Every structure is written in structure tokens, then in C-alpha cells.
Amino acid sequence: MTVPIAIIGTGIAGLSAAQALHAAGHAVHLFDKSHGSGGRMSSKRSDAGSLDLGAQYFTARDRRFVDAVQQWQTKGHVAEWKPLLYNYHAGKLSPSPDEQVRWVGTPRMSAITRAMRGDLPVTFSCRITEVFRGEEHWNLQDADGITYGPFSHVVIATPAPQATTLLAAAPKLAGVAAGVQMEPTWAVALAFDTPLQTPMEGCFVQDSALDWLARNRSKPGRDSALDTWVLHATSAWSKQHLDMPKEAVIEQLHGAFAELVGCAMPAPAFTLAHRWLYARPATAHEWGALSDSDLGLYVCGDWCLSGRVEGAWLSGQEAARRLIEHLE
Ligand code: FAD
Ligand code: NAI
């Protein structure tokens, strides 16, 4: 019997590792505490259509990632988003065009991780609480006390704070993960019956509770009948208002949006708020991945590199590369 490799986390890092391991002929089994894949690249289905509440777009700078994105584009999983970009600074809104190529999943951000998942076996709604070694192999235990195994190796592909608790068998790696601070982001979606009278489709914001806002409907393949917007608060504001009720978060960020947008702002037909507790690492790292090959434990995620979609994908590749190399 082939003993599979366990991968905890079906964000883009875990799926990137899964794809590379599968391509090299290894059996994998993925686990995620959510009911679907994508992690911070997941999209929320709502009455206002599908909304990208986490990652908004991504850039591709590393040649390997550029190649992967090109393949996704050929298969129709991603398309270039060319928003009319603005910048808000010192109380002033101004157009801020540039030449940067920005990608989004189509018809929603989660299309990418959905396609990467393919037919790989995944157990969803399963929060792993313990990774422990038996005589020969690894086992996992979930929050309901159910045990899974045996596994030949374990790849942990979660945000750093969640990885720390799963790394009890490797105190050195746990120590490194514990040193990574991850900051929250409050996200709010608003939808309007009548389109807002602004050409703006994306805006980098300074000196505000907001950090970024995007016209979700301006992304390719979105078919909402409403004019949908996604607002992200800064890390500082999100930290300060971490436990604020969702209604109050919506009110405050809606207010900040109304202040900067420069056009009449009707009452939204639809609102929602989502709190990303571990949205982004406070600083970037250059680890690629963390590993203890003798033990058979590997760790990846955006926090091992740039804290962006590209960094997460590259980190998953690096974890898989190290694992495969150790087996050769
Ligand atoms: P994640 O996507 O977080 O995946 C980890 C997975 O592990 C999750 O699915 C989670 O459910 C699962 N998990 C965690 N603990 C357990 C457990 N104990 N048991 C089982 N499963 C578990 N990047 C960009 O490049 N451009 C952007 O515009 C951008 N905007 C962003 C905006 C926001 C609001 C946020 C939150 C992020 C943004 N990012 C952006 C960052 C980008 O989304 C991340 O870098 C990337 O998606 C991280 O992928 P990952 O696989 O490392 O982690
Ligand atoms: P990018 O190159 O588009 O942006 C990088 C940064 O450059 C922006 O944050 C912005 O400050 C500045 N910038 C870029 N184009 C600009 C323009 N036309 N006008 C004014 N400023 C401009 O994308 P990259 O490097 O791939 O970064 C990803 C984005 O994801 C960043 O904006 C980052 O803040 C965001 N992000 C947000 C997270 C969150 O939790 N809210 C988590 C991780 C990433």
C-alpha cells in the first residue's frame, strides 16, 4: 500500500505543493478546516454575486510563477484585470495609471485554487489540531478527536500562528513560526442598485481607515447585476477594531469610502463584513519553506516569502522540491 503525504491547508501554498508532489508521482491527501479550498484566495458567494473578499489581484514577477500563470490563462482560470486605478493621498483623489500587469481568477478568485485541486483527495471541514508520529509514520488528529493516517510525510501549509501549534514534534520549526507576526484585515463588501458615478475601479488609499478599494464588478467575468465594491481596512485600523461588531465595521468603512470617493453615495442594497485574522505577515522573509527532512515535516505559506499570492505559490513549490529531493 502506498502511504500518502498529508497536506494541511488548501490555500494556494498547499495546493502548489500538492500539484508538484502529485506530478512527481506521490500520493497526497489534503485537509482543510473550511468547507472549500482557496484560503485567503477564496471567494464569497452572496446575494450580490461572487465577491473576492481576500486577495484582490496578483502580480507575477518570478519566471516560474509567470509560467504557471500563463498556463492558467490558457485554460481560462485567470485573466488580466486592467482597472482604472486611483490613489488617495492627503485628502486628494487622483488617477494613478501604471503599466503593471495584474491577474485575477475568472469568474472569481477561487477559480484558480479550484482548478489546482482537480481530483486530488481532500477532507474539508476538518481542523487539524495535532500532528504526531507513530512508530514509523505520521498521524493527524482533528478537533473532533478523529485520527487520520498513516502518512509518510506532513506538509503544513497554514498561516504561521496556526502552523506553530501543529509543529509540537519539531520545536525548532515551531520556534521560527512562532516568531512570525501576522496582521488582520477587515474586509467589507457593498453593493449598490445604481452604479456609483465614478470611473474608479481600484484605489490605493493613504491616510484613512482604508488601505484599498476595488470595484469587484470591473474584474473580468463577474456578472453581478449590482455595482459591487470591496473595501479593505489598514492593518492598524483592523488591529484597533478587531472585536468591533460587523455592523459597526460596515458603517465606519462605508463612511471612509463615502468621504474619499467624491460622488454621491446612496445607501447600499447589500453589505457584508469579513475579518481576516491572519491576513498578512508583518514582514517578508526569504526562507522559501521550513523543513526537517529527517523528521519528514515541511512547512510552507506566504509568510515564508513575500506575503503575496506569488510568494505562497513559490513556497509550496519549494516545500515539495525539498521533500522530493530528500527521497531521491
Ligand atoms: P491561506 O490561503 O491562508 O491557506 C491556508 C489554509 O489552511 C486555509 O484554507 C485554512 O482554512 C487552512 N487551515 C488553517 N489552519 C488549519 C488547520 N488547523 N487545519 C486544517 N486547515 C487549516 N496577495 C496578493 O498577491 N495580492 C493581493 O491583492 C492580496 N490581497 C489580500 C487581501 C486580503 C484581505 C488578504 C487576507 C490577503 C491578501 N493577499 C493578497 C495575500 C494572499 O491572499 C495570500 O498571500 C495567499 O492567498 C496565502 O496563501 P497560503 O496558501 O499561504 O495561505
Ligand atoms: P502591486 O505592484 O500592484 O502593488 C504594490 C504596492 O505598490 C501597492 O500596495 C501600492 O502601495 C503601490 N502601488 C502599485 N501600483 C500603484 C499605483 N498605480 N498607484 C499608487 N500606488 C501603487 O501588487 P503586489 O506587489 O503584487 O502587491 C500585492 C498587493 O496586495 C499590495 O497592494 C498589498 O498591499 C496587497 N495585500 C494586501 C493584504 C491585506 O491583508 N490587505 C495582504 C497581502 C497583500
Nearest listed ligand to the Cα of residue 39: 1
Task: Give alpha helix (H) positions in the chain.
Answer: 12-23, 63-75, 111-117, 160-166, 171-178, 235-240, 246-261, 309-327
Q: Is the shortest distance between the CB of 87 and ligand 2 below 6 Å? A: yes
Is pLDDT at 262 greater than 90 in this prediction? no
Taking only the tens place, the pLDDT of each residue in 179-211 is 999 999 999 999 999 999 999 999 999 999 999
Give 172 Cα–ligand 1 centroid separation in angstroms: 23
Kindly report which listed range (24-28, 84-88, 223-227, 310-314) carries the lowest average pLDDT score.
Answer: 223-227
Give 42 Cα–ligand 1 centroid separation in angstroms: 8
Q: What integer is the mean pLDDT of 164-182?
A: 98
Mutational pocket test of ligand 1: of 40, 188, 211, 232, the residue with most ligand atoms within 8 Å of the beta carbon: 40
Nearest listed ligand to the Cα of residue 278: 1
Note the pLDDT of residue 168.
97
Is pLDDT at 157 greater than 90 in this prediction? yes
Residue 126 C-alpha from the chain's centroid: 18
CB 40 within 8 A of CB 276: yes
Give 312 Cα–ligand 1 centroid separation in angstroms: 8
User: What residue owns the CA closest to ligand 1's atom 23?
Assistant: 308
Q: Is the shortest distance between the CB of 160 and ligand 1 below 6 Å? A: no
CB 102 within 8 A of CB 80: yes
Note the pLDDT of residue 223.
83
Q: Is the shortest distance between the CB of 157 and ligand 1 below 6 Å? A: yes
Is pLDDT at 264 greater than 80 in this prediction? yes
Q: What is the pTM of this model?
A: 0.98
User: What residue owns the CA closest to ligand 2's atom 23?
Assistant: 59
User: What residue owns the CA closest to ligand 2's atom 31?
Assistant: 308
Is pLDDT at 234 greater than 90 in this prediction? yes
Domains with residue ranges and CATH for the chain: 5-43+113-179+285-327 (3.50.50.60), 46-109+181-281 (3.90.660.10)
Q: Is the shortest distance between the CB of 235 and ligand 2 below 6 Å? A: no
Mutational pocket test of ligand 2: of 280, 303, 309, 314, the residue with most ligand atoms within 8 Å of the beta carbon: 280
pLDDT band at 31 (very low <50, low <70, confident <90, very high): very high
Is pLDDT at 313 greater than 80 in this prediction? yes
What is the signed CA dihedral for 21, 66, 300, 328, rounded to 10 degrees? Answer: 40
Nearest listed ligand to the Cα of residue 31: 1
CA of 13, closest atom in ligand 1: 51
Residues near 212 by Cβ (< 8 Å), separated by ≥ 6? Answer: 56, 202, 203, 204, 205, 231, 232
Give 158 Cα–ligand 1 centroid separation in angstroms: 8
For all residues of the chain together, what is the average pLDDT? Answer: 97
Note the pLDDT of residue 135.
87
How many other CB atoms are there within 10 angstroms of residue 281's CB atom?
22
Tabulate helix, strand, coil % of the chain (nearest 5): 30, 30, 40
Give me the DSSP letters along 230-251. Answer: EEEE-HHHHHHTTT--HHHHHH
